[in-house]
Amino acid sequence: MTEQTKIVDIYIMGKHYQVPEGLTIMTALEYCGYRLVRGCGCRAGFCGACATVYNLKDDPQLKFDLACQKTVEQDMYLAQIPFFPAAKATYDIEKLEPTGEQVLAVYPLIEKCFGCNTCTKACPQELEVMWYMSDILRGDIPEVMNKSFDCVMCGLCAARCPQGLVPYNYALLSRRLYGKYLAPRSKHLEDRIAEINANKFDADIEKLKKMDKKEIQKKYQTRDIEAAY
């Protein structure tokens, strides 16, 4: 640590620590000696495992983010939140229809949403959670898919909902219905699946399995790359 490094004061579970400015909440926890076993998945903002609630000195309002993305601030108060259960229905996607009525049949509690917008405020991805909840009630599955596409399933919307709703699970079902029934079909993907089912690539796969690591790396580095258009 150089002399120019700025130090900030943070509080973890009520205990005072000093850490270098610029660390993420996750790295600050580890800098302070905490060993993260849970709540530290991809560390790149994709898995949603490190959902974090914090506040700042003299500001009682709770704030929300992903610990692997949010950097520490002066007088930040941190707490590790435990896993919280969220109701997830069991369903067979093959037996469902891509409609809002179907989503409501699987998750009837959606109708309890009264539009308080707490879910949107809690979302670290800044998704319009309340609005896609409204889209579900209107039966607009494609719009639910569009608005919830970047959801990382961190669960903060469910943790903060005063009605005990689980918006991210409702959006997940909607995206699955869209992908199964409404998304435009890709001809080249269907062709490739047919080739796989016809065992076209079995010999190549067996050949790869017998190569050593250096051969595989060389083959990867010298592969043909299709030009982007």
Low-confidence ranges of the chain (pLDDT < 70): 1-3, 80-85, 228-229
Amino acid in position 156: L
Task: Answer yes or no: are the C-beta atoms of 77 and 11 closer than 8 Å.
Answer: yes
The alpha-helical segments, DSSP class H, found in the chain are 25-31, 100-106, 118-122, 129-138, 141-148, 156-160, 167-177, 187-197, 202-209, 213-221
Structure tokens belonging to residue 195: 């080739």
pLDDT on residue 1? 53
- Does domain 7-79 fall under CATH 3.10.20.740? My reply is yes
| Tens-digit pLDDT profile for residues 149-206 | 999 888 889 988 999 999 999 999 999 999 999 999 889 999 999 999 999 999 999 9
| Tens-digit pLDDT profile for residues 153-163 | 888 899 889 99
- Does domain 93-182 fall under CATH 1.10.1060.10? My reply is yes
Task: Answer yes or no: are the C-beta atoms of 18 and 42 closer than 8 Å.
Answer: no
Q: Where in the chain is the domain with CATH 3.10.20.740?
A: 7-79
Q: Where in the chain is the domain with CATH 1.10.1060.10?
A: 93-182
